[in-house]
Amino acid sequence: MKPASDLSRRSFLQAGALGAAGLAAGGARIAWAQGKTDAKRGGTLVVRSGPIRGIDPHLETWNATLQVVHQTYNALLKFNHDGTKIQPDLAESWEQKDDLTYVFHLKPGVKFHNVPPVNGRELTSEDVKYSIERQMTNQPGKFQHAYFFLDKLASIQTPDKYTIVFKTREPYAPFLNYIASPWTVIVAREVVEKHGDLQRHAIGTGPFIMQEYRRDQEAVFVKNPAYFKKGLPYLDEVRLQYVIDPVAATAAFRGQQTDISYLEFADVPSIKAAKIHVADITTMFPIVLRTRPYDDQRPNKPPFIEKKVRQAIQAAIRGEEFIEVVRSGWGITMTGPVPTYRKPWALPASARPEYDLKKAKRLLAEAGYASGFETELIVGSPGDNVKSAQVVKDQLAKVGIQVNLKPMEMAQYYNKSYSYDYSMSVHTALTGEEPEEAFRPYYGANATYYRWGNKEIHRLIDEQAKILDQKKRVDMVHQIQRLLLDDAPNVFLYCPIAHYGVQPWVKNYVVPINAYDQRYEEIWLDGKKA
Amino acid sequence: MSLLRVMRAKPLGALGGLLIVGLVATALLAPVLAPYDPVEVRSSDRLRAPSLSHPLGTDDFGRDILSRVIYGARISMLLGLGAVAISTLLAAIVGVLSGYYGGRVDTVLQRGIDTMMAFPGFVVLLTIMAMLGQGLGNVILALGIGGTAANARIIRSAVLAIRENQYLEVARATGCRDWRIIARHVLPNIAAPIMVVMTLGLGVAILAESSLSFLGFGVPPPTPSWGAMLSGSGRTYMIQAPWIAVFPGIAISLAVFGFNMLGDALRDLLDPRLRGGPRGRG
Amino acid sequence: MSRYVLRRLMLLVPTLLLVTLLVFSIIRLLPGDIVTLMMSEQGYASDKAKLEQMMGLDRPFYRQYLTYLGHALQGDLGVSFWTKEPVLDEILRRLPVSLELALLAMFFGILIAVPTGIFSAVRQDTWLDYLFRTGAIGGLSIPGFWTATVVIVGASIWWQWVPPMRYTPFARDPVKNLSQLLLPALILGLALSASIMRMTRSMVLEVLREDYVRTAWAKGLPESAVIARHVLKNAMIPVVTIMGLQLSALLGGTVIMESIFVLPGMGKFLLDAITWRDYPVIQGINLFLATGIIGLNLVIDVVYGFLDPRIRFG
């Protein structure tokens, strides 16, 4: 019987000067551990929200959806704020019985919100089974995170009301991380049966009950009096306010209309100068320069079919310049698809491809492109990636590659991106606590976000998931990344650092590393003006 | 009437005219005037305040603002002239045909105009940009098409006003061909309102481009358009580096101001009804 | 007169049909069709055909169009592809916001423009005239989003205050409602006032030259009386027309103010719908706006006809 796994600690800050988040983490946790007696009850928390299309946790991918989802639902397990430990949520204990079997024991007496059509009934293992099965359904117009469990589970059994037994087909190393993923929440089947999907209704077991939901304006939640974690939440109400214009949003924060807000980096110095706490979080969304995708149905084309061309591009790109120009220094460089702070999965700094213009020119000449070539780069507009695209153009011009920028509105960009029909693009990738989230959906055999037809990499990606021994798995994940750096389908530009402002009257809140984690159940307010 | 007398009579218009001359000169002489390359990224020179080496400062890519504002004049002129040329041409065709022939032609064309005007200007712009994609040419096309309907109405009323004139009837009675009448009599007489419309349209086009940029539909980077500078990095770095936005903003304001003043003065001068007040000057 | 009105009403129908047909076709020409978009956004989808069928996009164009028309005539504008909410409901929820903003903007525009336009005309070519015209043009030379940005950021830094970013309907709390809408309305009104002022000024100038006004002058009527009694009424006619034009431009053109001041209006709604290719929403809004604008133009033309006897019998 193996105990609940402990992800190894990883350092997430490269530069020492950015230690603020670390200090805040330590400080705040001690305050909470010392006692909930100084917690004040009541008040409304206002948080800046991002654009949402819908709030169905199984269908959507944007983190604003999770801002809603995490108020109203719970999961079996969850990560702590820096992603290093898995903690219980709905499951009070769990164990891995053997290589293929995981058993979870639910807390008894957890009730859904007392809202029709669920009406406050008790959560049982059947609900867990239903939710996981729904999450991994492969149907059109649906499930983004199906790849977590699809074709990996042999069975989900519910021997009694509070016990769930998962059996995987083969040893599946990512299993627990996926169970603890912010997306794997437990929903109620009655809501799905009544409304067809969960895009506009959120009825779960969570600390807050949804009172109002207006998609492009705000969502309002009130305290769940029957929440299963006794004593929580402290707040009476949570309001997610959608402010699309970043300048207006920062002004709203300065004007004390929002309590927690994502901030633009250009505004951070002046807000910090006003003695307001700003957490600097290295995000999980690296910016990537992609070259032409290919698979069995879509063969690659010149010039990108030549490995040397791709390697030349890699050698001509200098990551630091992106961080300076696009983010004013707020970012970290990368050594591969797994961000550098995720140790031990990330490659060491020594593995980073070298910036070498001479080598780039030599490789181009060897591939037959001594005088360079012309190509097109698509990017979604508006956004920072348009700026990154300009830096790419400028850098590649130095080795004779003429890049024509084609910014396009998001709808068209996604269209081209997912029909895998482009020569180059600048893209925001997704990663997660589970390391394979950084490469399986991109370079694996059934990848969705990108297509790369290198069969050796496919095989290795399939294999690494089956290795339960962490040390061996790390080795294989490193091997995969080294192969990717050599094959160079993409160049990993940088990982942005994002900023979240927290007003001084918001207590007991540590901004989590994972921007997808939006749980406010332990926050209380002290000193907020009404 | 000598130019000097006109300028003294209409000082605001004269000021506008001077501004426009300056704008055109800047646009034409851009490569000579600009000290730096407007699009080259120089990451070591980012966000510098105005100084001797960079009189208007640099932006977040290290590019010289003065050079970008100078080249931006080119973009603005291209935008304005292109958009106005397209919209005036289309509007003139529709307006003249509608006004001259009247009757069923007029009714049908008017329905067309009504249809176009039923879409708020911005909606038309956005839809066209979504169809065509980003790019300077597409923005010009969109602005041109978007401005057609309103101008067509104006031209039509101008033609209607002339139609009543006697000599048109005479021309028709003597058997002159329609297109000849249009070319010889109609067009020269509506030249005045057309000129006014065009001048004002230039200012509108520049402003519209900056609004499109704000929404993400404007001229794509790294092209130095004033609107993109104002709504992009200018806004982001408003507090840290206000010079990025201030100078393009001043440029836009001066250009729009100039076109409007010039257009107003032209209208005053060319329309005999508007010359002089109740006390009857000129 | 009534024949004129009747004729215009009859022309309303084909115009509306044309509008809907135009919108229907154009949005389907937009690159990046919604099916691929939905599929790409939602990962694993592999069944394009099934998705198309779900959204009724597999049927031939004319059948889609006729079905849509049929429903529209019954007041059913369909549901949004993304949110599944009925389009008409969402429009009706957002309409009051846009309308209030547009009307307030017009109010400010007129408030500023008409008096300054009249003064400017009466004192033509004096320094007052120059001052007012410079001010008016200045007001429209600065892009609205920039003025809004400077005001909001300035207020937030100096006074730690911003206009509320949460919309409250006027009926529920007029003070909160106005405190949010006042600033954007003022900014929009400022831009509007330039063209209204210009129009007012030229119309007043024209009227001032008319014989009957000169007669009034000659008879010794004081200036104010001349203006009030004779000038205003006739000068207002084309101003009314331009107001109509501006109102229709406003209704779609409030996107920027809505974005910055967080107002749930039609402009932003439409922009989002275009961005995400939400066909039913785009069609619904366009149909709605078009009907409103054409109707508005009709009303204005009728009012115009009443005010100007020359048109009445034309």
CB contact under 8 A, A247 and B238: yes
Write down the pLDDT at residue C31: 67
Write down the pLDDT at residue C237: 65
pLDDT at A422 > cutoff 90: yes
Write down the pLDDT at residue A469: 92
> Which range among A212-216, A332-336, B175-179, C94-98 shows the weakest confidence by mean pLDDT?
B175-179
Write down the pLDDT at residue C35: 65
Q: Across all residues in chain B, what is the average pLDDT?
A: 82
Percentage, residues of chain A above pLDDT 70 = 92
For chain B, domain boundaries: 21-43+65-281
- Which of B123, B229, B261 is most worth mutating to test chain C (most C CB atoms within 10 A of its CB)? B123
ipTM above 0.90?
A: no
Does A415 touch chain C if contact means CB atoms closer than 8 Å?
Answer: yes
CA-nearest residue of chain B to C30? B131
Does B235 touch chain A if contact means CB atoms closer than 8 Å?
Answer: yes
Write down the pLDDT at residue C239: 66
Residue C263 CA: distances (Å) to CA of A469, A484, C163, C255: 54, 47, 11, 9
Write down the pLDDT at residue C202: 76
DSSP per residue, A392-449: HHHHHHTTTEEEEEEEEEHHHHHHHHHTT--SEEEEE----SSGGGGTHHHHSTT-SS
Choose between C50 and A311: higher pLDDT: A311
Choose between C301 and A27: higher pLDDT: C301
> Which range among A83-92, A375-384, B168-177 shows the weakest confidence by mean pLDDT?
B168-177
pLDDT at B55 > cutoff 80: yes
Q: Band the pLDDT of A404: cuts 50, 70, 90.
A: very high
CB contact under 8 A, C156 and A214: no
Q: Band the pLDDT of B270: cuts 50, 70, 90.
A: confident
Alpha-carbon distance C268 to C256, whole Å?
8
- Which of A263, A328, A392 is most worth mutating to test chain B (most B CB atoms within 10 A of its CB)? A328
CA-based Rg of chain A, rounded to a whole angstrom? Answer: 23
Per CB-CB distance under 8 Å, the chain A contacts of B214 are none
**With contact defined as beta carbons under 8 Å apart, do A441 and A143 qualify?**
no
Stretch A5-25: mean pLDDT: 29
Choose between A481 and A63: higher pLDDT: A481
Write down the pLDDT at residue B15: 87
CB contact under 8 A, B134 and A408: yes
Peptide bond into A344 cis (omega under 30): yes
CB contact under 8 A, A144 and C36: no
Choose between B260 and A223: higher pLDDT: A223
pLDDT tens for residues B184-193? 777 777 777 7
Q: A17: Cβ–Cβ under 8 A, 6 or more apart, which residues?
A: none
Write down the pLDDT at residue C267: 83
Does B52 touch chain A if contact means CB atoms closer than 8 Å?
Answer: no
Write down the pLDDT at residue C273: 83
pLDDT at A334 > cutoff 70: yes
Structure tokens at A201: 């209704």
Instruction: Answer whether CATH 1.10.3720.10 is correct for domain B21-43+65-281.
Output: yes
Q: Of the candidates C175, C179, C182, which has an alpha carbon nearest to the alpha carbon of residue C103?
A: C182
**With contact defined as beta carbons under 8 Å apart, do B264 and B12 qualify?**
yes
Does C6 touch chain B if contact means CB atoms closer than 8 Å?
Answer: no
> Which range among A410-424, B234-248, C159-173, C245-259 shows the weakest confidence by mean pLDDT?
C245-259
Please name the residue ranges forming H helices in chain C: 2-29, 34-41, 48-54, 61-73, 87-122, 127-141, 144-158, 174-208, 211-218, 223-226, 232-253, 255-261, 266-275, 279-307, 309-312
CB contact under 8 A, B131 and C31: yes
- Residues of chain C with pLDDT below 70 are 1, 31-58, 211-213, 217, 221, 223-253, 304-314
Write down the pLDDT at residue A360: 94
CB contact under 8 A, C198 and B264: yes
CB contact under 8 A, A246 and B221: no
pTM over 0.95? The answer is no
Alpha-carbon distance A355 to A371, whole Å?
20
**With contact defined as beta carbons under 8 Å apart, do B145 and B86 qualify?**
yes
Write down the pLDDT at residue B255: 92
Per CB-CB distance under 8 Å, the chain A contacts of B133 are 406, 408, 412
Per CB-CB distance under 8 Å, the chain A contacts of B236 are 246-247, 264, 266
CA-nearest residue of chain A to B61? A325
CB contact under 8 A, A390 and B133: no
> Which range among A224-228, A348-352, C131-135, C255-259 shows the weakest confidence by mean pLDDT?
C131-135
Per CB-CB distance under 8 Å, the chain A contacts of C151 are none
CB contact under 8 A, C146 and B249: yes
Does B274 touch chain A if contact means CB atoms closer than 8 Å?
Answer: no
Range among A299-313, B147-161, B211-225, C128-142 with highest mean pLDDT value? A299-313
pLDDT at A337 > cutoff 90: yes
Look up residue A7 and give its DSSP letter. P
Write down the pLDDT at residue A24: 33
Per CB-CB distance under 8 Å, the chain A contacts of B217 are 409
CB contact under 8 A, B216 and A409: yes
pLDDT at A177 > cutoff 90: yes
Range among A105-109, B230-234, C302-306 with highest mean pLDDT value? A105-109
Write down the pLDDT at residue C49: 66
Q: Which of residues 44-103 of C touch B (CB under 8 A)?
A: none
Distance of CA B141 to the CA centre of its chain: 13
**With contact defined as beta carbons under 8 Å apart, do B202 and B213 qualify?**
no
Choose between A340 and A446: higher pLDDT: A340
CA-nearest residue of chain A to B228? A382
Please name the residue ranges forming H helices in A196-278: 246-254, 268-273
Q: Of the candidates A429, A200, A26, A403, which has an alpha carbon nearest to the alpha carbon of residue B220?
A: A403
pLDDT tens for residues B57-105? 999 899 999 999 999 999 989 999 999 999 999 888 888 888 777 778 8
Q: Which of residues 237-256 of C touch B (CB under 8 A)?
A: 245, 248-253, 255-256
The tally of CA atoms less than 13 A away on the side-chain side of residue C110 is: 13
> Which range among A95-104, B147-156, C177-186 shows the weakest confidence by mean pLDDT?
B147-156
CA-nearest residue of chain A to C93? A214
Choose between A396 and C293: higher pLDDT: A396
pLDDT tens for residues A234-270? 999 999 998 888 889 999 999 889 999 999 888 898 8
The CA distance from B90 to the nearest CA of chain A, in Å, is 28
pLDDT at A466 > cutoff 90: yes
Does B214 touch chain A if contact means CB atoms closer than 8 Å?
Answer: no
Count CB atoms within 10 A of the CB of residue C40.
Answer: 20
Residue A186 CA: distances (Å) to CA of A70, A133, A211, C187, C231: 11, 11, 19, 48, 72
Stretch A136-140: mean pLDDT: 68
The CA distance from A342 to the nearest CA of chain C, in Å, is 25
Element (H, E) at A240: strand A237-242
**CB-nearest partner of B236 from A266, A391, A408:** A266
Q: Of the candidates A375, A378, A402, A399, which has an alpha carbon nearest to the alpha carbon of residue A388?
A: A378
Does A139 touch chain C if contact means CB atoms closer than 8 Å?
Answer: yes
Residue C96 CA: distances (Å) to CA of A220, C101, C102, C105, C266: 22, 8, 10, 14, 9
Per CB-CB distance under 8 Å, the chain B contacts of C21 are none
- Which of B129, B132, B236 is most worth mutating to test chain A (most A CB atoms within 10 A of its CB)? B236
Does A384 touch chain B if contact means CB atoms closer than 8 Å?
Answer: no
Q: A395: Cβ–Cβ under 8 A, 6 or more apart, which residues?
A: A316, A317, A318, A321
Chains A & C: contacts with CB separation below 8 Å:
139
**CB-nearest partner of C124 from B130, B210, B277:** B277
Alpha-carbon distance A141 to A167, whole Å?
28
pLDDT at A515 > cutoff 70: yes
